[in-house]
Amino acid sequence: MNSQTKAVETVDRSTGELATLPAGMGGQSLAVQLAMAELNQDVVTARSFPRSVATVMRNITELVMLDEQTAKECVYAVPRDGKTIRGPSIRLAEIIASQWGNCHCASRVVHVDKIEKYVESEGVFHDLETGLKRTARTRKNISKRDGGIYSQDMIMTAGNAAASIGMREAILKGVPKAVWRQAFEHAENVIRGDVTTLVERREEAMKALAGIGVTPDRVFAAIDVAGVEEIGIEELADLFAMYQGVKSKETDVDEVFPAVKKAGDQPAGLKGKLDQLAGDEPEAKKQAVAPKGDAAKKSEAGPSPAGSDARGRKGAPAEPKPSSGDPGPQAQPDDGDPIAVASRMGRAAYRKNLSERAIPVDFKQADREAEKDAWLAAFRGEADKDSPEPGATEEE
């Protein structure tokens, strides 16, 4: 009884000094005792000097608006399901944690799974003043396009990116949004700019993206525009946020700006090769094998002279002869129906691994809504064919 109420004296082996520990800690290891003593001291200090929320909000906003570059780094963007999602970046989370004060935050990689091909990290935020503790786990993919695994260096890079995202999520969950929402809105306004600087900001954005290896066609496909002239204020805000996300390694270039597949490209994955073997070839190849010129005339006339005479008989309608540039009826299975043409283009876009946002610009006009809907319906129909049917996989 007395041993539990009295203070315990111990000797520090590294320095030889005699240290006195609080009562009740004598039955634990020295490392645990020191950690508990440090935490208790931090909590006592935090409660002795409580924070001022008004001061915290003012300091966060002032740091975010310190200069234009800082404001740009506080926002990130990533495409998800045909939309561009913007949010606070790890740079803003660092500013929030530094001004919130009286807290601990950290992150670490907790698991690397080379079978499922992902790396998992954990972020921790501990508010010493209120006692709130939040954790967040995030995963990053470590598989290549061909299904292989990243190299060891790239796995470490992906782990660091996942750790940054985990700490960001833990901080944003631990600090109320009401504290940093105003600063985040100021940062968005900075990267959005105004119409008077639109042309200069377009050029600045394209140069910055070219510096990280992003070609213009990948930029236009990512934000769903046809050219530089269609990049408006909102699209510019998305581009700057995407660029900052790549720079801070919260996302990678291929995820934000996927490569645009062109006609005639060889399929890279197993699915594309199987589709090619099944006869799902690009339309350009089908037109290339269609009969042209004299070959088309011979096929229409038939192999015998009787076949050619039958076409010239009186009363028989004469069929138009295809020109050298016309692939003939075989290359027009939809007979010119605009809805059928849009459906065929939607199916072909899915088989070329394009995004659902890659709708042809002509279909976005006000009088062509029906063709746009047909394109989307055909694209999604092809996607549904590739999805597994209910009950096709066994459940444990």
Same domain, 229 and 121: yes
Residue 393 lies in a domain: no
Residue 265 lies in a domain: no
Same domain, 243 and 379: no
Q: Determine which helix (DSSP H) or strand (DSSP E) holds 270, and give its type and residue range.
A: helix 270-277
pLDDT of residue 257: 85
Same domain, 63 and 29: no
pLDDT of residue 301: 44
Determine the longest span between alpha carbons in the chain, in angstroms. 125
Residue 139 lies in a domain: yes
pLDDT of residue 24: 57
Same domain, 216 and 274: no
- C-alpha distances (whole Å) from 305 to each of 75, 190, 324 are 75, 77, 24
Same domain, 71 and 180: yes
Tokens of 327: 């692939």
pLDDT of residue 260: 77
Residues 6+ apart with CB under 8 A from 377: 343, 346
The predicted model scores a pTM of 0.52
Same domain, 281 and 203: no
Same domain, 143 and 194: yes
Q: Is 101 exposed, middle or buried (0-12, 13-18, 19+ CB in 10 A)?
A: middle
Q: Cα(166)–Cα(250) distance, rounded to whole angstroms?
A: 10
Q: Cα(88)–Cα(241) distance, rounded to whole angstroms?
A: 10
Residues of the chain with pLDDT under 50: 1-5, 281-286, 288-292, 294-332, 393-396
Residue 307 lies in a domain: no
Number of domain units in the chain:
3
Which residues constitute the domain of residue 29?
21-50
Same domain, 195 and 216: yes
pLDDT of residue 328: 43
Residue 11 lies in a domain: no
Same domain, 34 and 67: no
Final residue before a domain boundary, out of 242, 260, 278: 260
Output DSSP code: residue 312: T
pLDDT of residue 204: 85
pLDDT of residue 18: 57
pLDDT of residue 195: 63
Residue 7 lies in a domain: no
Residue 311 lies in a domain: no
